[in-house]
């Protein structure tokens, strides 16, 4: 199965992508992982991407597309893949269509995770991370520490990352609405979009997604 996963920041795409890929036995291909893998291996594409990133510029679409093409050509993606964070805009979606068409394959579904904007802001802005170990993450509402501002695991100070401030989250949402959300209409015109609610327990959302992908509704 070949799937594109879309949804606003805070909808739980990363969590659901990992779980769905495991359940469907297909690789989870994320833009962030592609960049990190190419940069760490010092591939030509990785060096090119790093030059843009070091200069504070966005990595051009053609570089991202080339990385995705290379990854989708790997043996483990022969029977399908789940794309997370790509395509990020309509031009990338069009390029992906051309790429798949040239390989004689096509997407099976575009899974759209829906979450109310206020809930997304609440989810992200409420996160608190341990300064000693960033793997220790809490939430002021959903998983608060026993003692405010103190990590339950190691006693480190909990803080709000700059990227998690409400102002930053709303800026990220605006970018999503402007650049990424239009791909939903692009794919809806092809009859590929399957929309589900991203609200509720993680297991429940995963089950909802699998059922929706199975039924195509």
- Whether 127 sits among the annotated catalytic residues: the reply is yes
Measure CA of the first residue to CA of the last residue in the chain; give whole Å: 16
Q: In the prediction, which pLDDT does 216 show?
A: 66
For residues 95 and 93, give the distance between their C-alpha atoms in angstroms, rounded to a whole number.
Answer: 5
Per residue in 65-95, pLDDT tens?
A: 999 999 999 999 999 999 998 999 999 999 9
| Residue in 25, 106, 161, 188 annotated catalytic | 161
| Residue in 19, 71, 123, 127 annotated catalytic | 127
Structure tokens at 163: 């990227």
- In the predicted model, residues of the chain with pLDDT beneath 70 are 216-217
| Residue in 88, 122, 123, 128 annotated catalytic | 88
Q: In the prediction, which pLDDT does 215 show?
A: 83
What's the residue count for the chain?
217
Q: What are phi and psi of 216, to 5 degrees?
A: 75, 20
Please give the model's pTM, rounded to 2 decimal places.
0.87
- Whether 161 sits among the annotated catalytic residues: the reply is yes
- Whether 19 sits among the annotated catalytic residues: the reply is no
């Amino acid at each position: 199965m070949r799937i594109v996963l879309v949804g606003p920041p805070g909808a739980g795409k990363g969590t659901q992508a990992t779980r769905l890929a495991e359940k469907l036995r297909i690789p989870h291909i994320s833009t962030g992982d592609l960049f990190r893998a190419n940069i760490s291996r010092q591939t030509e594409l990785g060096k090119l991407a790093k030059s843009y990133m070091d200069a504070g510029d966005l990595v051009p679409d053609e570089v991202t597309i080339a990385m995705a093409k290379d990854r989708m050509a790997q043996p483990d993606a022969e029977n399908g893949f789940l794309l997370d964070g790509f395509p990020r805009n309509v031009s990338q979606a069009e390029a992906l269509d051309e790429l798949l068409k040239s390989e004689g394959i096509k997407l099976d579904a575009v899974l759209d995770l829906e979450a109310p904007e206020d809930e997304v802001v609440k989810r992200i802005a409420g996160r608190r991370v341990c300064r000693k170990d960033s793997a220790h993450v809490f939430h002021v509402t959903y998983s608060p520490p026993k003692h405010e501002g103190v990590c339950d695991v190691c006693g480190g100070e909990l803080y709000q990352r700059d990227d998690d401030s409400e102002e930053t989250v709303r800026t990220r949402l605006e970018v999503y609405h402007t650049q990424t959300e239009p791909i939903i209409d692009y794919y809806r015109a092809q009859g590929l979009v399957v929309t589900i609610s991203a609200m509720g327990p993680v297991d429940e959302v995963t089950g909802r997604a699998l059922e929706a992908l199975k039924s195509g509704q």
